[in-house]
């Protein structure tokens, strides 16, 4: 009965969306955010509440709409009611709403697809800095029951488990017990990310998997099932146990503040807000700027995701790190920022362009200058060592040049070739993560 009522509510909601698009009808809300459950369940309402409080100076209340995973935030501004709708039914639903002019902001827990970008090309370049906004970093956590002794899995083994090829925990060092699979639903950006990074076109999800619209509900069920394994955003890990993940021969990592912030963790992912260039609502752009500010990023951290505000750490001794690299960095701390590039280029991507501004602010806040920075470039795997060295140096130089254009005079930059990969040597995902510039700051 409950599932029938849920289905009826969803159909009524979709009917309302269709009616709202008829000529002459307009949204009753000042802003509408549609899309990812990962973002919309808690993060988007928290960010919007902070923004509205700063904008209006008034309290903000939250009420459900009667449809699951939807919230209306209400306040007053200049004596008039102001409401915002957050609808969190999955990343793909957000694109549909944005394309139909029903959403002002699309929340996505994966990057815009080529087909989606092409569909919006008449209105906006969805891959441009004006439309694509990385708001947080999330680690796609692999969850098991707290009693499960399995500590580590590589990505290929993980894929075979979720495909049903490995069906007993004993095959991977666990107890003699069948494996129960928990997965997000087809509308979810979390599912899209898992499908891309883990199944990778080589495997299909087993038909026995239990599917969920909600990260939190999935995690809760895994934490009560000794045979269970599932995936969810790190912020929804709850009482489940985290499994360390290895990409190829790279070290196995659990999602942590540093490994996710730098995107070294194999299943790290970016969380996005997308806007169309012709949105016509200054309030939407004001909200985006608030999210990217230090105040907005503080809320990101409070929500359980990983903010993009830089911090420095001393790395513990690691036998896998070459002696040459230890000598190079012995007087430095690692910054929680890796600069990455548009695919196949030495041109910095949209997140890196915003990160450079954050690094500039970090230096000012800590009393440092560009002379205290060292930029270390890395290449993805190449056939020739000399080519890898050249690419890594060009990437470090590109980042240094961008900082100099911001009056941050960096003198220390070096290429480290294709050594110390954080991802597998082959494949699109490994290439994207290995091609990077690490930032280090003098102690």
Which domains are delineated in the chain?
Answer: 31-131+276-303 (3.40.190.10), 139-261 (3.40.190.10), 310-442 (3.30.1330.60)
Of the pLDDT bands very low, low, confident and very high (cuts 50, 70, 90), residue 13 is: very low
Structure confidence by residue, pLDDT tens digits, 64-123:
999 999 999 999 999 999 999 999 999 999 999 999 999 999 999 999 999 999 999 999
* DSSP for 230-241, written as a single string: EEEEGGG-TTSE
Distance CA 295, CA 301 (A): 10
pTM for the model stands at: 0.82
pLDDT digits (tens, 9 = 90+) for 296-345: 999 999 998 899 999 999 998 888 889 999 999 999 999 999 999 876 56
Locate tokens 């963790």: which residue?
265
User: 3-class SS at 31?
Assistant: strand
User: Taking residues 195-211, what's their average pLDDT?
Assistant: 95
| Residues 6+ positions from 364 with CB-CB distance below 8 Å | none
Q: CB atoms < 10 A from the CB of 442, how many?
A: 14
Q: What is the dihedral of CA 53, 107, 129, 276, to 10 degrees?
A: -90
State the pLDDT confidence band at 14, using cuts at 50, 70 and 90: very low
Residue 191 CA to chain centroid, in angstroms?
13
């Amino acid at each position: 009965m409950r599932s029938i009522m849920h289905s009826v509510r969803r159909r009524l909601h979709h009917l309302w969306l269709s009616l709202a698009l008829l000529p002459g009808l307009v949204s009753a809300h000042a802003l509408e955010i549609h899309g990812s459950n990962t973002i919309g369940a808690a993060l988007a309402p928290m960010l919007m509440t902070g923004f509205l409080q700063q904008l209006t100076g008034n309290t903000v209340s939250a009420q459900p709409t009667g449809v699951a995973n939807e919230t209306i935030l209400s306040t007053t501004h200049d004596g008039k009611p102001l409401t915002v709708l957050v609808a969190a039914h999955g990343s793909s639903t957000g694109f549909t709403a944005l394309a139909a002019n029903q959403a002002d902001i699309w929340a996505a827990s994966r990057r815009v697809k080529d087909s989606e970008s092409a569909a919006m090309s008449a209105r906006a370049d969805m891959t441009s800095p004006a439309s694509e906004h990385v708001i947080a970093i999330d680690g796609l956590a692999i969850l098991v029951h707290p009693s499960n002794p399995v500590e580590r899995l590589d990505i290929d083994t993980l894929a075979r488990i979720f495909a049903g090829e490995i069906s007993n925990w004993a095959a991977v060092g666990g107890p003699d017990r069948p494996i129960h699979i928990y997965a997000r639903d087809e509308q979810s950006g979390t599912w899209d990310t898992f499908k891309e990074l883990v199944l990778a076109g080589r495997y299909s999800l087993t038909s026995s998997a239990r599917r969920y619209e909600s990260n939190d509900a999935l995690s809760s069920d895994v934490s009560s099932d000794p045979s269970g394994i599932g995936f969810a955003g790190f912020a929804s890990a709850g009482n489940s146990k985290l499994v360390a993940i290895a990409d190829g021969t790279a070290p196995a990592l659990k999602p942590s503040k540093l490994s996710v912030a730098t995107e070294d963790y194999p299943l790290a992912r970016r969380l996005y807000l997308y806007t169309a260039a012709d949105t016509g609502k200054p309030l939407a752009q004001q909200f985006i700027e608030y999210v990217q500010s230090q105040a907005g990023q503080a809320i990101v951290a409070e929500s359980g995701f990983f903010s993009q505000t830089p911090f420095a750490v001393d790395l513990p001794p690691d036998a896998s790190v070459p002696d040459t690299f230890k000598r190079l960095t012995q007087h430095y701390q690692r910054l929680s920022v890796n600069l990455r590039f548009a695919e196949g280029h030495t041109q910095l991507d949209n997140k890196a362009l915003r990160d450079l501004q954050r690094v500039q602010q970090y230096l000012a806040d800590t009393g440092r200058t560009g002379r205290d920075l060292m930029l270390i470039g890395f290449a993805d795997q190449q056939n020739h060592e000399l080519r890898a060295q050249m690419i890594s140096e060009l990437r470090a130089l590109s980042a240094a040049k961008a900082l100099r254009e911001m009056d941050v005079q960096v003198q220390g930059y070096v290429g480290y070739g294709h050594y110390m990969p954080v991802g597998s040597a082959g494949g699109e995902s490994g290439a994207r993560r290995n091609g990077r510039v690490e930032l280090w700051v003098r102690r």
